Structure 1
Amino acid sequence: MTTVGFRTVAADVEHDIEVKRSLFRCTLRRVADEDAARTVIAQVRRAHWDARHHCSAYVLGPAGALQRSHDDGEPAGTAGAPMLAALHGAELTDVVAVVTRWFGGVLLGTGGLARAYRAAVTGAIESAGVLVRRPVTLLAVAADHAHAGGLEHAVRAADPAAVRAVDYTADGVRLALAVPPERVDALRTLVAEQTAGTGSLAETGSDFADA
C-alpha cells in the first residue's frame, strides 16, 4: 500500500459542453474497482441510449496501476486516450469517466474530437473537485463495561473521524477504528490509560480514508 495516499474526485458529477452543435456529457464517478467502473459505463449507456457514442476511461488502484480507455466507435485515439490524459493530468485514481456524445451534424475532425473529449472530462473534474485519501491502520479496541463509556468518549475527543463502528456487548464495548499509522502508538497509550491497562488494541489491517 502506498504510504502517501492518492487523489480522487470529491463528488460524482455530470458536466456538459457543446462543440459545433455536438453535445458532450461527461459522467464522472468515484469507483473502488473495475466491476464498479464497468457498471457505471453500462448505466450511462442505458440512460442515454439515444446517443451515438459512450466513450470511457478509468484509472484504478492507489498507484493507478489499472488503466483502461475505449473510443466506442470514434476514430482511434480521439476519445478514450484524451479522456485518460485528462485523468492523468489531474493525478486521479479510483475514478471512471464516461463521455456521451450526441452528434450535432458538424464533423469535428480528429483534433477537434480529441480536444472536445478531453475538455469534457477536465470540466467535470473541475466541477467535482478533488480530495486526497490517506493510508490508515485498522484497529480493534475492546474494554469492559466499567471503562466503556470513558474510552469511547476519549477516542472520539482525540480523533472523531477515527471511529468506524461501536458495538456494546455483554462483555463491554468493541470499537473499530481507522487511524493514520503515526497515530497508532498514541491510541495504544490512550486505551491503556482509559482502561487502567485492562483494555486491548489489535491491528486488523489497512485501508484508505478521506483526508
Structure 2
Amino acid sequence: MPFTLSEPCEYREEIKKSRFLTLALPLANAAQAQALLERHSDPAATHNCWAWKFASLYRSSDDGEPGGTAGRPILAAIEAQDCDQVLVIVTRWYGGIQLGTGGLARAYGGGAHKCLQAASRIALVERVMLTCACNFAELPLLKLRLVELNGVVEQEAFTANGVELEIALGQADIATLQRQLADLSRGRILLERKGI
C-alpha cells in the first residue's frame, strides 16, 4: 500500500566534511513540486538535488553532481519506502573532500531513505465516489462516521428535505458505513455509487 507524508520531515548528516540536509514534503499535486523546490532550495548551497513522485509521474535532478549520483538514488529511496505524492530535496554544502560517484549515491540515497523512514506517514487509500441523502439532524453523525472510516465529503447540497452528499470512501469500508447509516436512519439512508 503506498504512503504519503502527513507533514514535512528533515534529516541532517555530515559526511567527510560535507553537510547534507534532506527535506521530504508531501505533494498535493504534481504542479506543486516546482513551487516547493523554489521555496526550499538554498541558493548558497553547492547542490540542491531532488526527486518527486506523484502517481505515475516522477522527476529528478542531480543539480551539477555527476549524472545518476543524486536524483536517481533519491527517487529510488522514495520508491523503496513505497511513498507517493512526495518531494525529497537533498541540499549539500561541499566540505572539500571528494566522495566519488559511489559515495555520492550512498549519501544522497541514504539521506533520502533515512528521512522517509523517520517521517510521519499516512496510507493512500483509493476511494470510491458515493452519493447519499440525509435529514439535517443526521448530518453531524453521518460526517462523524465518515471521518472514523477515513472518508471525505466531496460535495454537499442543502435541499428543503435535508442534505444530498457526494462522498469518497475506501472500497473496504463501504459495507461498514452502510450498516452504520442504516442503524442511524432506520434503513432510510442508502449509499449509491456515483454514476451508476
TM range, normalised to the smaller chain? 0.7 to 0.9
Secondary structure of the residue that 2:102 maps to in structure 1?
A: helix
Map residues 106-185 of structure 1 onto 2, 5 A cutoff: 106-144=97-135, 148-150=136-138, 152-153=140-141, 156-157=144-145, 160=148, 161-162=150-151, 164=153, 170-185=160-175
1:6 match:
2
Total equivalences in the alignment? 193
Report how far residue 159 of structure 1 moved. 6.1
Q: Does 1:55 align with 2:46?
A: no
**Scaled by the length of structure 1, what TM-score is found?**
0.76
Q: Which amino acid aligns with 2:50?
A: S
- Counterparts of 2:38 and 2:131, CA distance in 1: 38
- Counterparts of 2:28 and 2:152, CA distance in 1: 21
Report how far residue 149 of structure 1 moved. 1.8
In structure 1, stretches of 5+ residues that fail to align are: 206-211
Q: Which amino acid aligns with 2:27?
A: V
Report how far residue 93 of structure 1 moved. 1.5
1:97 match:
88
Relative to structure 2, which stretch is displaced further, 30-39 or 188-197? 188-197
* Closer, same or farther: CA 128–168 of 1 in aligned 2, 3 Å: same
In structure 2, stretches of 5+ residues that fail to align are: none
Q: Which amino acid aligns with 2:3?
A: R
Q: Does 1:21 align with 2:17?
A: yes
Q: Which amino acid aligns with 1:111?
A: G
* Closer, same or farther: CA 186–129 of 1 in aligned 2, 3 Å: closer
- Counterparts of 1:74 and 1:191, CA distance in 2: 57
User: Does the 8 A contact of 1:156 with 1:163 survive in 2?
Assistant: no
Q: Which amino acid aligns with 1:203?
A: R
Structure 1 stretches of at least 4 aligned residues deviating more than 6 Å after TM superposition: none
**Scaled by the length of structure 2, what TM-score is found?**
0.81
Q: Residue deviations 1:38-92, cap 9 Å, x none?
A: 22111122xx22111111111221xxx2222110101111111111121122122
Secondary structure of the residue that 1:38 maps to in structure 2?
A: helix
Q: Residue deviations 1:126-155, cap 9 Å, x none?
A: 2214332222223232124xxx32464266
Q: Residue deviations 1:85-141, cap 9 Å, x none?
A: 211221222111111111112222212111111121112112214332222223232
- Counterparts of 1:157 and 1:187, CA distance in 2: 7
- Counterparts of 1:96 and 1:11, CA distance in 2: 12
Identity %: 32
User: Does the 8 A contact of 2:146 with 2:152 survive in 1?
Assistant: no
1:42 match:
38
- Out of 162, 183, 204, the residue aligned to residue 194 of structure 2 is 204
Q: Which amino acid aligns with 1:183?
A: D
